[in-house]
Amino acid sequence: MYPARVDDKGRLKLPVGFQNFVSGLPEKKLFVTSLDRRIGQIYPIRIWRENKDFLYEYRDNPKAAKRISFNAQDLGADSEMDSQGRVLLPPEMRRELGIENQNVRLFAYKGRIQILSEAIYEEQKKQAAASAEEDLETLEGAGLR
């Protein structure tokens, strides 16, 4: 979990570890969006293409896939990391998530970088703490070491 800030121009400065991750990608293009209109996501373009294909082909609940796809396109945009390790976030997403010129938390998860507002970070922190003992017991029972 890394603290960061969205500057007044809508750019997010990535921590060095994330900069190294993005720099090491075969394709430097990123897709920045929010699928749930609460948490921002920075996807390497390859992973985003796989997600688009998944949403297009998902048949169990096509209406859910269409709604998520709508959110992604409504709030999303292609982006790239600049030479100073900054990623421009789409203005629609910044406004929707309330992160314009604000402190945020960055969290690497499943091949993407999540952008959490301070309010969402605090909410998730409380939820994680409340169920930590039970969650740990469950996962250790499943093989977590």
CB atoms within 10 A of CB 138: 11
Q: What is the DSSP letter of 143?
A: T
Helix (H, G, I), strand (E, B) or coil at 124: helix
Question: Hey, what CATH class is 2-119 in?
Answer: alpha beta
Residues 22 and 28 sit within 8 Å (Cβ to Cβ): yes
pLDDT tens for the 145 residues of the chain, in order: 999 999 999 999 999 999 999 999 999 999 999 999 999 999 999 999 999 999 999 999 999 999 999 999 999 999 999 999 999 999 999 999 999 999 999 999 999 999 999 999 999 999 999 999 999 999 999 999 9
Angstrom distances, CA of residue 9 to CA of 13, 46, 111, 137: 11, 27, 26, 44
Domain ranges of the chain: 2-119
